[in-house]
Amino acid sequence: MAPYGIRVVGDPVLRQRATEVTTIDGRLAKLAEDMIATMYDAPGVGLAAPQVGVEKRVFVYDVGDGPFTIVNPEIVEREGEWAYEEGCLSVPGLSWEIVRAKRVHLTGVDLEGNDLSIEADELLARCFQHELDHLDGVLVLERLDAATRKQALKTIRELGIGPSVLAAAEPKSGGFSLR
Ligand code: ZN
């Protein structure tokens, strides 16, 4: 069983700007480990701390090269445009074609406190932009044009995604939280 339930659209934690991590320690490493397990269980290619109810600037990802954790990420450069079908574990079952930068340069810190500088393109660049949005309290729905967003919200209401999944989204074990 995944260590965490994933928060879904409608949960206010998804709309908050997460705060910078100031201490990299065993607690943070444990959070990352539990987030990675939760991501694989979903399954997904990326998961940001707010999605498990933790308002810290941390995300984990695996686009096929093994799991990685980025602490205090920042996108310092964006280039190009790329339209691609994109979904979100916090808006389960739905996806849309969304235009984002094709390449990004991301900086951050790893779990040992080492500075990271990563040039990413296509899927990895998209993953970085999507997860960073989560840390800024921005959901994929806000990347849609007005008409598509309206339709998406209607679909979400019709499917009852928010309330039904929310009930099952409380932390399941341990209750670990950095908040
Ligand atoms: Zn997401």
DSSP string covering 71-131, please?
EEEEEEEEES-EEEEEEETTEEEEEEEEEE-SEEEEEEE-TTS-EEEEEEEHHHHHHHHHH
Q: Is residue 105 part of a domain?
A: yes
| Count of CA atoms in the C-beta half-sphere (13 A) of 67 | 18
Ligand 1 centroid vs 173 CA: distance in angstroms? 22
The residue segments making up the domain with residue 148 are 12-166
Answer whether 105's CB lies under 8 Å from 119's CB: yes
Cα–ligand 1 centroid distance for 131 (angstroms): 6
Measured in angstroms, how far is the CA atom of residue 85 from the centroid of ligand 1? 13
Domain with 126 in it: what CATH number? 3.90.45.10
Amino acid of residue 130: H
The pTM of this model reads: 0.89
Is position 77 annotated as part of the catalytic site?
Answer: no
Using an 8 Å Cβ cutoff, are 73 and 127 in contact? no
The per-residue pLDDT for range 2-21, each reduced to its tens digit, is 999 999 999 999 999 999 99
Q: Which candidate in 77, 79, 119, 131 is catalytic?
A: 131
Percent of the chain's residues with pLDDT above 90: 86
Q: Is residue 7 part of a domain?
A: no
Number of domains in the chain: 1
86 Cα–ligand 1 center, Å = 9
User: How large is the average pLDDT for residues 39-50?
Assistant: 97
Average pLDDT over residues 107-124: 97
Q: Is the pLDDT of residue 169 over 70?
A: no
| Residue 104 and residue 114 in contact, taking contact as beta carbons nearer than 8 Å | no
In which band, very low, low, confident or very high, does the pLDDT at 163 lie, cut at 50, 70 and 90?
low
Residues 13 and 169: beta-carbon distance below 8 Å:
no
pLDDT value for 160:
87
Report the pLDDT value the prediction gives residue 172, as an integer from 0 to 100.
Answer: 41
SS3 state at 52? helix
